Amino acid sequence: MEIMNSFYIAGIPKVTFGAGLFADLHKIIRAYGRNVLVITGNESFRKSGRFDALKSDLEKSKCKVFDESIKGEPSPIMIDRIVRDFRKQTVNVVVSIGGGSAIDCGKAVSAMLAEDGSVKDYLEGVGTRKPSGDKAPFIAVPTTAGTGCEATANAVISDTDEGFKKSLRHRNFVPDEAVVDPELTIGAPSALTAACGFDAVSQLIESYTSTKSNVFTDSLAIKALALASRNLLPASTDRGGDITVRSAMSYAALVSGITLMQAGLGTVHGIAGPLGGIVPAPHGTVCGKLLLPVMTLSIKKIIDEKNTTALAKFADIGRAFSDDQGKDDNFYVEQLLGVIRSWTESLKLPTLSAFGMKQSDIEKIVSLSDNKNSPAQLTGDEIRQILETVL
């Protein structure tokens, strides 16, 4: 019998998942108290009427609603300003409704309401202080299906002046609740849906094939991958209004956050992290551009090194993506690469030079990149070769 990897399961938020359940959000919020800080990202959510309905329901329940609308990715200046404005109020609960930026912003604000100083003092690789883990309760309500940050313990904070993208992290920063209503993702533009979907799929593939993966994360990730493989293209093209398709992608994104928290990530994110600090390109677009070249070289390396254990994991994903049965592992890894190639060709993400990436950025990105928990350790030369193809 195969020996099972030992594992430890870190926190998972309380999850409310389902189409139309946004209507119950006010009840979930109210359970935490009366003073509510709501942070929203995209303007379309405010225009949808849902924000006004939520505010009205909360006020009917005698809640005092403070609200903030953010633009772009959260920066130290943004977080410090919001915290300064609300530190003197008793905020019982912070609620973020939006994409990754709004959720990371709320996660950081909920943490910093319990700390003094600037968020910069607590960022990994930037500050010298460690977060205590104390925080205001936090509820994450995603309006995109991508980063899975509704289930993770870190908030990514960007400083474009100093050129960094770093995490505020503590195991207590996993949101207290994730309220995932796939209806909120209907209406997201095709390009955004595609980029976010690529992020979720990358996270699922990387956590499933991670050297830290385990039976718990594997069983979650493989079903989510099977769903994502059949729904990424329809969600991003002609069936973006179909709630079944959107539900599959919202589920895949949520699970990707859970599995990456427990099993870690691989080379796509090992490159995307530092690249995102240097080039102001959306994280999902970066993952989407990197996925095919990273998987192609990683699988080639695994085959060359005769790493049959890792090959079997990649083959499992190809099997979940395929209707063919009874073939060998080499057949299914080709299936996997074929599906990723077809997504890449159909969804046509822009090259990263469209976001200002230059040839001269490549060396710095290579020097800061790593393979995280990938079973294939790509060399600096191989990472350079990959970056040439996404420029």
The residues of the shown chain that bind Fe ion, judged by CB under 5 A, are: 199
Distance of CA 95 to the CA centre of its chain: 18
Nearer to Fe ion, 38 or 175 (CB): 175
Calpha distance 34→273 (Å, rounded): 38
Nearer to Fe ion, 288 or 318 (CB): 288
Q: Which residue is nearest to Fe ion (CB)?
A: 199
Calpha distance 59→171 (Å, rounded): 32
Nearer to Fe ion, 36 or 100 (CB): 100
Closest contact distance (angstroms) between CB of 15 and Fe ion is: 19
Calpha distance 102→327 (Å, rounded): 44
Nearest residue to 14 via CA among 28, 26, 1: 28
Closest contact distance (angstroms) between CB of 243 and Fe ion is: 25
Nearer to Fe ion, 63 or 200 (CB): 200
Token output for 56: 């009205």
Nearer to Fe ion, 150 or 199 (CB): 199
Cα dist. 253→232, 265, 281, 368, 377 in Å?
A: 11, 14, 20, 27, 26
Print the SS3 string covering 21-78.
HHHHHHHHHHCCCCEEEEEECCHHHHHCCHHHHHHHHHHHCCCEEEEEECCCCCCHHH
Nearer to Fe ion, 176 or 199 (CB): 199
Closest contact distance (angstroms) between CB of 376 and Fe ion is: 19
Cβ 364 vs Cβ 351: under 8 Å: no
Closest contact distance (angstroms) between CB of 130 and Fe ion is: 24
Nearer to Fe ion, 319 or 372 (CB): 372
Closest contact distance (angstroms) between CB of 194 and Fe ion is: 14
Closest contact distance (angstroms) between CB of 277 and Fe ion is: 14
Closest contact distance (angstroms) between CB of 147 and Fe ion is: 5
Closest contact distance (angstroms) between CB of 167 and Fe ion is: 12
Q: How many CA atoms lie within 13 A of 61 on its CB side?
A: 20
Nearer to Fe ion, 112 or 201 (CB): 201
Calpha distance 105→88 (Å, rounded): 19
Closest contact distance (angstroms) between CB of 199 and Fe ion is: 4
Calpha distance 326→324 (Å, rounded): 7
Nearer to Fe ion, 42 or 256 (CB): 256
Nearer to Fe ion, 167 or 335 (CB): 167
Closest contact distance (angstroms) between CB of 21 and Fe ion is: 25
Calpha distance 234→228 (Å, rounded): 10
